[in-house]
Structure 1
Amino acid sequence: MKISLEEVTRSNYEAVCDLDVAPEQEQYVACNMWSLVESHYNQGHTCKAICLEGKPVGFFMWVQETAQKVSIWRFMVDKQYQNQGFGRVALKLAIEQIRKIPHLECIEICYNPANPVAKDFYSSFGFQEVGMDEDGDDMLACIWL
């Protein structure tokens, strides 16, 4: 089965907004609709639908915060498509796309340190924890380029 990252468009945004995580994951993931609104009114935001053979099954949003740093702000896979390797393939594709940005030095991601899966998952891609965010809520981790 083919996983791809596609633009969020007029034809697929409703399907992206309808994606949802399991109830026990809701505290870790922002609403896709909110993320699309946020990206519309702010510069430097890139939104991608994670698609399985053209059908949205997940969502990414990353933000170019500086010329040297991109932060992955949103990453989710719908509850029906979890634990099938789609998120792993999608994150690999996203990192490949982000790496193409000129002058980039760091790809950053943050996650709730209470999330039992996040640390091992992200470290398997080369993300290294650098400490808590300024609010002390989320762990920051970076891939240094």
Structure 2
Amino acid sequence: MALERRRVEKDHLRALFRLKVAEDQKGLVAPNEITLAQAAYEAGSHVWGLWEGDTAVGLMAMIHPHEAGGMEEGEDPDAAYIWRLMIGAEYQGKGHGRAALDLAIGQGRDWGLPRIALSVVQADNSAIAMYEAAGFRRTGKIIEDEIVLSRDL
């Protein structure tokens, strides 16, 4: 499996909008339509479609902290931030989430930042275990009722 991230183009939208999480995961990550709409107003945001060959499997949005308009209390001013990571329900459990994290870690390194961070809804079916297996650790901070995790790059 070779996961690629691609800048979102107009002709990608239908494929990305078709992707949905499992019913029990709704509320853990915003739908792709919302992420793409919000990205236009989120300073420092970068959004990519996640593709396996010609198949859209997910969406990833990151924020470069030095390009962001302002930081929330508790946010790390020197950490690349994974703002959204969504893998379609039919593509979960196949390594796409971990591959997407590897792409995000590479982007954080390309930006020259020392850390990468994200926040997660605390729920039994959240992706916390996947993030911890990838080397992310809980920081002890909570932002907007979400658990903050980070790792050094």
Normalising by structure 2, we get a TM-score of 0.85
Q: Do residues 61 (structure 1) and 22 (structure 2) align?
A: no
Question: How far off is 1:34 after superposition?
Answer: 0.9
AA in 1 matched with 2:53? E
AA in 1 matched with 2:3? I
Of 17-26 and 60-69, more deviation after overlay is shown by 60-69
Task: State the percentage of identical aligned residues.
Answer: 29
CA distance in 1, matches of 2:146, 2:40: 24
Question: How far off is 1:37 after superposition?
Answer: 0.9
CA contact (8 A) 1:5 1:94 kept: no
Question: How far off is 1:142 after superposition?
Answer: 0.6
Where has structure 1 moved over 4 Å in runs of 4 or more? Answer: none
C-alpha deviations, 1:80-104, integer Å up to 9, x for none? 11111122112112211221102x1
C-alpha deviations, 1:50-85, integer Å up to 9, x for none? 101132110100111236222111111111111111
C-alpha deviations, 1:15-58, integer Å up to 9, x for none? 11221000000110111111111111232101011101132110
Runs (5+) with no aligned partner, structure 1: none
Aligned to 1:127: 136
Q: 1:73 to 1:115 in 2, by over 3 A?
A: farther
Question: How far off is 1:117 after superposition?
Answer: 4.7
Give the aligned CA root-mean-square deviation in angstroms.
1.6
Q: 1:73 to 1:53 in 2, by over 3 A?
A: same
Aligned length: 143
Aligned to 1:45: 45
